Chains A and B, each alone.
Chain A
Amino acid sequence: MRNAMLLTMCLALAGPALAADLTKEEMHKLLTELDDRQRNGGDYKALAYLEQKEKDKADVVREVMIFRRDSDDKLMLLFTKPKSEEGKGYLRLDKNLWSYDPGTGKWERATERERIGGTNSRRSDFDESRLAEEFEPKYEGEEKLGKFETLKLELKVKDGVDVAYPVVKLWIDKVNHNILKRQEFALSGRLMRTAYYPKWQKLFSESKKAEVWFPGEMRFFDEVEKSNSTLVLMKSVDLSNLDLNMFTKAWLESKSR
């Protein structure tokens, strides 16, 4: 955290001249900071609203509860609305992503490219941030995004790591170090998705003894099907402890009994 503060101060004081010369180490520190500030260390629970718009189709609308235990890298999504989706969910254990449908009573393996609840969001959009762990950064300079000065990084996935998109570009607010824009590319270099993060919220965490940041709003624009877009709104977040045995198939199954 001290390093992060130092880096922030350096970047803010030195201005563009220094920023233009971000070293690999500095970029790594920046990514670590981005990850750290979103990580709770304890448990995390949120209620989110998902909305998918597609041309000539009815909107897909969902409410989903997100449960995270960052210390164990565990994640669970549980759909609560509409009625037809109640009780459906996802569970990430180790490197396995499972999806569950109470209608069939079946668990199925899902991949990192799974469209969560039929929207253009991915598991990683709801999970703990692991940028420093999963990607190698490259500095691409500064860019203005609306009224914000941003640092632009290109990230390439490390060998052996399975992510939804292997190449990612980030626009990071120079002052607050929030990711404002993210573009994701396929291995071929084709742009697949553009994401905007126009709201960042923070909440004091007892377990972390510090603030935890989370994106209050995420907007994804599909770059393949240009008329498709997804909105994710975090309606509320709670950082209190969760049940010890919560991240199990049995727990998720029990919610639809």
Chain B
Amino acid sequence: MIDRGVLLVRIAVRNLLASPINLLIGGLILLGTLVFVLLGGLLDSLNQAMQRSVVGSLAGHIQIYSASSKDELALFGQMGNFPDLPAINDFPKIQDALTKVENVKMVVPMGISAAIITSGNIVDVTLEKLRNLYKARDGQPSDPKLSGVPREELVLRIESEIAHLRQIIKVLRGDVEKAMADMVNTKSVEPRNVEALARVEQPAFWADFDQAPYENLEFLENRIAPIVTDTSLVFLRYVGTDLDKFQKSFDRMRIIKGSPVPQGQRGFLIADLMHEDQMKLKTARRLDKVKDARLNGRLIATDDELKRFVKENRHQTRELVLQLDGLKTAALVKSLQALLATKETSIDVLLSQLLDTTDENFEERYAQFYELVVPQVQLYRVKVGDMLTIKAFTKSGYVQNVNVKVYGTFAFTGLEKSPLAGATNLMDLMSFRELFGYLTSDKAEELKEIQRATGAKAVSRENAEAELFGEDAEVVAEATPGVIDPDAALAGTGRKLREEDLIRRVYTQQHLDDGVVLHAAVMLEDPSRIDEAIARINQVSQEQHLGIQAVSWQKASGILGQIINVFRALLFVAVGIIFIAAMLIMYLSVLMATLQRTQLFGTMRAIGAQRGLILSMVLIESLVLGLLFGGLGMLAGWGVLAAIATTGIAAPNDVMYFFFSGPRLIPQLSTWPLVVALVIILVVTIGSTLLPALMAMRVSPLRAMQADE
């Protein structure tokens, strides 16, 4: 039997090398296998890298959310929208049930949402500071940071802010004149505002400012601030979570600036990339980007984006100038004159000259900017330690504001530059619940009571005109004056004080667990058994009526998780085309070879060869061809992968950091592409050879001899 097999293989090898067409077929099989093993390996590595990114940054291995949700959970957004998830009310029960499921390590409560941070323009911001300083001076501080600051210091700070304000007004005069000349901004040239500007330019206005500070502040707020139209608005994605549990479960998370939120307290952590990209002074951020790019070998002289950054820095000095008061401006002018060896007196021109960077002077100017200019201005619009006012639409659709303290910024190791991982901020669970606006039974009852007391009649849109203006309608009525007393209605509100108390409060674990959440991350002991864990969680939910559903990290990541499946499908299509071509050519060539060898097969049959021997001979010829070249293809694919793995593939842009789970993708050869490639080779070779082989098997010795005659 073995001798027969060896003989057949030897015949196959001899026949293989005898025909050039076999080399073509072998080449195609080699190419197909190489592409499959190489791309399959890369995709597998990409999938694993993305899994590390998604699992390690937000999703955990499994996500659970309400089984009654109409929307699917999409942690990274679904076509720009957020899913509308029903609230999970009884989280402690769910947590208790899930932690008993085998392989579940931890359940982290979450709620993903979006909010806005608004701040007025530079005049609004400065006036707000000034107002807070005056209130603190007058013994009614509204900014907790100013409580306890000595009066003398407050007076000095007031003087400094007023000096800053007067500097801004000088800049505004230039803006107004320019706008009037260009006739581009009708709002800023509104005559009343221009008159107001003329009034506040007079020293007399400032000499008497302290006589009626609040009245003067309102004048500035309502007449001068509207001249500046560039109000800033930052959109903020955040996850409300148990921050302590989050940090323990997502071990790639690390604090970059500041500190973690103290256990059980309210607080906010800003994604560091967002802090840099959207909250840093634009000029400084552009300089940072140029510095990074130059470290990666790009040059200002040849790179269009870097040229644009330099141009913007030269022309957009206004945001710097608006932050300087008179004293700071004078000091900076002096230092810049010395540095740039010029007698120029305009701060705009001097800053523009400093920021006119080239490849030759960049490093020096970068250091000079941070040394001379940055200490005079506010580098970040939100700093660690600031109180952030976050505005969000509640579940009921109305706007809710919450103050939270910013304790620090964070990033995930390896994903520091990824805009996807760096787009989500973290907030404590209690503040999240407040912004979510979940209606507790007490609140719902209070609203019902107000509705009952009013007794308003419901009118449908369809019948509105008939009901409101029908035959019985009486539109006109006499009214009697009523007593309206705001003091009686608001007695004992003291809401501000309660809010300040909330910021300092330390919540117990029971407080954190006992409340509404929207979804939760489930961390597993053994992530390779994820499918089993999902099935078990879904089963437990049904048995215990938990009303939740469990999905994998891939499904929970929304459209992002599907990208890898799309890539995989494309790979199969591409490889499929190569192998179908190989199969067709193989089929035709084996068919031709069989027809050419009819006489040989007939002779073999005549001298006693069985049909099975003929069939085996033809099949083994093809198998040897497939396995030899397929094996070579696998080896080549593995070799290329190994070569790539020595340095890895650099992420071509910041977005790819997320897919590569870091700055480089290090591919690893996994077994599935080899196994699948082997199966495909066997299918292709046997599939394409079977019919010609059966034909060869059926050749009769008589027919072969007749053909010869």
Contact = CB atoms under 8 A, between A and B. Distances in A.
A183 interface: no
B470 A146 contact: yes
A142 interface: no
B490 interface: yes
Contact of B466 (A146, A200, A238): A146
A146 B473 contact: yes
Interface in A64-88: 65, 78, 80-84, 86-87
B475 A199 contact: yes
B493 interface: yes
A94 B223 CA distance: 8
A219 B464 contact: yes
B396 interface: yes
B476 interface: yes
A141 interface: no
A205 B486 CA distance: 21
B565 interface: no
Given A61-B451, A200-B477, A239-B481, A105 B486 contact: no
Contacts, number: 210
A195 to B, nearest CB: 10
B495 A87 contact: yes
A22 to B, nearest CB: 22
B376 interface: no
B446 interface: yes
A235 B124 CA distance: 36
Contacts of B473: 146-148, 198
B444 A109 contact: no
B591 to A, nearest CB: 66
A126 B523 CA distance: 53
A42 interface: no
Given A102-B496, A250-B214, A58 B396 contact: yes
Interface string B469-485: 11101011111111110
A146 B490 contact: no
Given A51-B451, A231-B456, A233-B456, A104 B477 contact: no
Interface residues of B, number: 69
Nearest to B502: A103
Nearest to A255: B490
B471 A147 contact: yes
Nearest to B196: A94
A176 B493 contact: no
A128 interface: no
A102 B495 contact: yes
B396 to A, nearest CB: 5
Contacts of A60: 396-398
B128 interface: yes
A200 to B, nearest CB: 5
Contacts of B545: none
Given A82-B450, A86-B493, A109-B124, A238 B396 contact: no
Contact of A80 (B128, B142, B481, B490): B490
Contact of B483 (A81, A84, A238): A238
Given A49-B450, A65-B489, A256-B494, 15 more contacts: A58-B447, A59-B396, A61-B451, A80-B489, A82-B450, A107-B128, A119-B398, A160-B186, A178-B475, A198-B475, A202-B478, A229-B461, A233-B454, A236-B482, A257-B493
8 contacts: A52-B397, A59-B451, A81-B450, A107-B128, A145-B465, A147-B471, A221-B461, A233-B454
Interface of B: 118, 120, 124, 128, 131, 140, 142-143, 186, 192, 214-215, 218, 221-223, 225-226, 231, 389, 391, 394-399, 401-403, 439, 443-444, 446-447, 450-451, 454, 456, 459, 461, 464-466, 468-471, 473, 475-484, 486-487, 489-490, 493-497, 499
Q: Which 8 A-B pairs have the closest CB atoms?
A: A118-B398, A236-B482, A146-B469, A198-B468, A201-B479, A80-B489, A102-B495, A61-B447
